Structure 1
Amino acid sequence: MIYTAIDTFYLTDEQLTNSPSRKNGIDEATETSLRIYGCDLIQEAGILLKLPQAVMATGQVLFHHFYCKKSFARFNVKKVAASCVWLASKLEENPRKARQVIIVFHRMECRRENLPIEFLDPTLKKYADLKTELSRTERHILKEMGFICHVEHPHKFISNYLATLGTPPELRQEAWNLANDRSSIGTWWKEFTYNIVRSIQE
């Protein structure tokens, strides 16, 4: 969960249904695919950069939140994902250099598109352009967050709540899995709450 001075994290069902991407003509299925793709990029990059899971989770929260405010039609998924990883690494106090993030995303793109993996020379204009885009996109993300990007993950609360409610171990594991699956962030809380209520009623 992201807490900001003006509390802009929480969105109504109407805002989620009529997202900026939807207003730009991107249908729900495409938007969902792009969100999953972006989360996959963040997860893979985090592994390659040897970052803790908390950094990837923070990056994915930032990614989802950003695209609740901005359209996929306006901001490139790969650039936003790279900036989210870079920003999250700093927020979680496991910083990586811009050069490391750029090189990892460049190699990931080459592999995914079956292109030859070439060394990205930091002296080339292409590298300078990528670095500029990384910084510029990070500023866009920070602006949308109001420059307050504290991310509170639900994992530590889940175990305590479920233990207090006396729920079975299977439900605890399912809730933990849903919390880990950041690509379903828009629906996991509803599923989690529904399962708790169903368990209590039984």
Structure 2
Amino acid sequence: MTRDDIERYSPSRRDGIDALRETHLRYSYCAFIQNLGLQLELPQTTIGTAMVLCHRFFVRRSHACHDRFLIATAALFLAAKSEETLRPLNNVLRTSCEIFHKQDITFLSYLLPVDWFEQYRERVIEAEQMILTTLNFELNVQHPYAPLTSILNELGLSQTALVNLALNLVSEGVISGLACTLV
């Protein structure tokens, strides 16, 4: 599948979501994943893996049919497992809810139904299973961070502004989907 094929024939396009709107949706779930990952003190590789898993998922499934923040939460939980940087599911869920609702979890318990947290937990677990089956259990993501820093170290550029620029460009590529290889 080429990038042009993805842009023209994605499931989201078939459901009436144009390319510009889909790009906005991609950036919004990546910002959510970045924020969630930082709050959970996860390494950037885990955060990047979650972004790539979301990109791969939404190449095969429509944004119109799936809650991007639910999928993003499940993708980060799954990425933390696959990158061996585990975080307890309840911690991921609490932090996700606080970011999404922009309120402390203690206030949410007064605003939402009694069993909302258990329902949310079940929905995230179901989303995790959907991601796994949609991606045929292929969770391997090759990140460019390690080879890039290795090359910059060899060139004696490990302590320069070039390193930050290069890493930021790589991260932007992951967010935009440029670094996302289809499996």
| Counterpart AA for 1:133 | R
Partners of 1:74 and 1:188 lie apart in 2 by: 22
> What percentage of residue pairs aligned between the two structures are identical?
29
In the alignment, what sits opposite 2:93? 102
Q: Which runs of 5+ in 2 are unaligned?
A: none
TM-score using structure 2 length:
0.81
| Counterpart AA for 1:184 | S
| Counterpart AA for 1:95 | L
1:81 aligns with 2:72: yes
Q: CA deviation at 1:81?
A: 0.6
Structure-2 change in CA distance of 1:103 and 1:15 (3 Å) = same
Partners of 1:108 and 1:13 lie apart in 2 by: 32
Partners of 1:22 and 1:171 lie apart in 2 by: 38
In the alignment, what sits opposite 1:154? 144
Q: CA deviation at 1:14?
A: 3.5
In the alignment, what sits opposite 1:12? 2
Partners of 2:143 and 2:78 lie apart in 1 by: 16
Q: 1:42, 1:85 within 8 Å by CA — same for their partners in 2?
A: yes
In the alignment, what sits opposite 2:169? 178
Pick the aligned partner of 1:68 from 31, 56, 59: 59
In the alignment, what sits opposite 1:142? 132
Q: Which runs of 5+ in 1 are unaligned?
A: 1-10, 190-202
In the alignment, what sits opposite 1:58? 49
Q: CA deviation at 1:13?
A: 2.8
Q: 1:178, 1:188 within 8 Å by CA — same for their partners in 2?
A: no
TM-score using structure 1 length:
0.74
Partners of 1:48 and 1:164 lie apart in 2 by: 33
| Counterpart AA for 1:129 | Q
| Counterpart AA for 1:186 | L
Helix, strand or coil at the partner of 2:108: coil
Q: 1:79, 1:137 within 8 Å by CA — same for their partners in 2?
A: yes
How many residues align? The count is: 173
Q: 1:41, 1:81 within 8 Å by CA — same for their partners in 2?
A: yes
How large is the Cα RMSD of the aligned pairs? Answer: 2.9
